[in-house]
Amino acid sequence: MEPSRVGFKVPDWLSEAIDRLEAAPTLLLESEIAGVFRAAIDGRGDISSEERRVWWCEVAAFWFGSSRGEKVGPTGRHFRPQSSLTRGDGSVVYVPDPSEIGEQVISYWENRAGTSRNPVARARYADLVWDLRRKATGTAADVVLQEALFSDLVGVSSFTHSSITSAPESPGSAPRSACTWVASAA
C-alpha cells in the first residue's frame, strides 16, 4: 500500500491506476478517467471497506455530473449525481451518493487537486472541492484552490480538439463536462 493520502491508505492496485492516469500521453476526458478507475476494481475479489472508500473518492470525482448552470438535485450545487433510482418504498438512491461526501472525502480531493499531474483531473478535484466543501463541511474552500482551478481550466482550453482523446461515451460513463465546456469557452 502507498502511504496515506489524507487519512486513506491507497492500495497498490489503485496507485497503479493513478500512476497510469498521471502518465497519460494525451488529455483524457472525464469519462475516460472514470473508466481508468472502474477498470482498476473490475475482477477484484475481496476488497476492504477502506480500499472501496478510497476507490470511491477517485471514481466518484468523475461520476458527478454538471448541472449545466442550474443548481438542482440533492447537492443543490453545480455538481449532481449522474443518476437516481427510486426504490419500491419510495426512497431515492443516488449514484454517486452525495451523502458520502464529508470532510475526509473533501480533504482527499483537495490533496489530489494539489498533487495530480493531469490537468483535467486536477481541475475536476479542485472544482468539486470549491463547489461542495461548504455543503459537506460547513467551511469555505481556500481561494488559492479557485486560482489553481482557473489556471488548469485555461491550460486545458489551450489543447486543440485533436489532442483530446475522442473515445465515445458509453452508457453509465461520466459526462465530458470540463473538456467540453472549457474547449467551447476558449
The predicted model scores a pTM of 0.75
d(CA 73, CA 75): 6
d(CA 110, CA 184): 26
- All three cell numbers of 8, joined, read 486513506
Residue 159 banded pLDDT, cuts 50, 70, 90: low
Classified as helix, coil or strand, 129 is helix
Summary mean pLDDT of the chain: 78
- All three cell numbers of 136, joined, read 459537506
d(CA 145, CA 147): 5
Residue bearing the bigger pLDDT, 123 or 185:
123
pLDDT score recorded for residue 90: 95
- Contact between 88 and 96 under an 8 Å Cβ cutoff? The reply is no
Q: What is the mean pLDDT of residues 151-174?
A: 50
If you ran DSSP here, which 8-state letter would residue 111 be given?
H
Q: What type of residue is 47?
A: I
H/E element, 65 = strand 65-66
- Contact between 27 and 165 under an 8 Å Cβ cutoff? The reply is yes
pLDDT digits (tens, 9 = 90+) for 27-72: 788 889 999 999 999 988 889 999 999 999 999 999 998 876 666 6
d(CA 169, CA 102): 29
Q: Does residue 150 come out as left (phi exceeding 0), alpha (psi in the -120 to 50 range) or beta?
A: alpha
For the chain, give every domain's residue range: 4-63+100-185
